[in-house]
Amino acid sequence: MTRILIFGDTHGDLRSLERIVTQPADVYIAAGDLSNFGRGLERCGQVLEPLSSRLWLLPGNHETHAQTKALCDRFGFFDFHRQSRLLDSADGPVHWAGLGYSNITPFKTPGEYSEEEIAAALAAFDGLSPLELVVHFPPLDTRLDEFAPGKHAGSAALRSWVEAHHPARLFCGHIHETAGLTDRLGDTNCRNVGKHGFLVET
């Protein structure tokens, strides 16, 4: 059995990171936004350093890929942005794919993609099966992207890709108001992992 702990949106909360480090897992996936506009990443890296290569890191919309890649190089983490890896499970090998950044926000954060860029990035994962997908941002018009009643901020391109390719599960963050919530898109179970994280056992 492989245990994967997925978390995100800690935004400089070092105590949350310290709690993550103490939780037993084989792989830890940081789904973006360790920082606020890139500030304090070095300190976050120092807290997470004991995880070394067991930590797979995505940039959120508050970091550039250059910043998170430098953090990976400095502390030995795995740069998971736009990458896929195989992990063993009870039913055989499973693909895990990662995509950071977010769709466009009103806040002019440093890590944002257009819908066209999201579609192009996801196309690299076409045909991977079985697949577990970890992204920073949620799909459009789900429980996971509703930041206020009736107001949605997710990605249309992500939703279209999930509906076309049917990953087993999708894990995301980005919308703080929906941390811990789940939804379903066709065959795909979706979850906002939040800063407290979610443990997957395969």
What is the predicted pLDDT for the residue at 201? Answer: 96
- Give the pLDDT confidence score for residue 37 in this predicted structure: 98
pLDDT band at 92 (very low <50, low <70, confident <90, very high): very high
pLDDT tens-place string over residues 67-85: 999 999 999 999 999 999 9
The pLDDT, as a whole number, for residue 97 is: 99
Q: How many helices (H) and strands (E) does the chain have?
A: 5, 15
Residue-wise pLDDT tens digits, 5-46: 999 999 999 999 999 999 999 999 999 999 999 999 999 999
183's tokens = 């939804």
Half-sphere exposure of 149 (CA within 13 A, CB side): 0
Task: Compute the average pLDDT of residues 90-115.
Answer: 97
**Chain-wide mean pLDDT for the chain?**
98
d(CA 93, CA 38): 35
Domain count along the chain: 1
Contacts of 73 (CB under 8 A, 6+ apart): none
**DSSP-assigned states of every residue in 113-181:** E-HHHHHHHHGGGTT--SEEEEESSPBSSSGGGEEETTEE--BHHHHHHHHHH--SEEEE-S-GGGTT-
pTM for the model stands at 0.98
Q: And the tokens for 10?
A: 């800690």
**DSSP category for residue 36:** B
Binning pLDDT at 50, 70 and 90, where does residue 202 land?
very high
Handedness of CA 84, 29, 4, 166 (dihedral sign): negative
Q: What is the CATH number of the domain that holds 187?
A: 3.60.21.10
- Report the percentage of the chain scoring pLDDT > 70: 100
Q: What is the signed CA dihedral for 99, 105, 108, 110, rounded to 10 degrees? A: -10
Q: Kindly state the percentage of the chain with pLDDT values over 90.
A: 100
Residue 133 domain boundaries: 3-201
Q: What is the pLDDT of residue 128?
A: 98
Helix (H/G/I), strand (E/B), else coil: 198: strand
Q: Give the mean model confidence (pLDDT) for residues 89-105.
A: 97
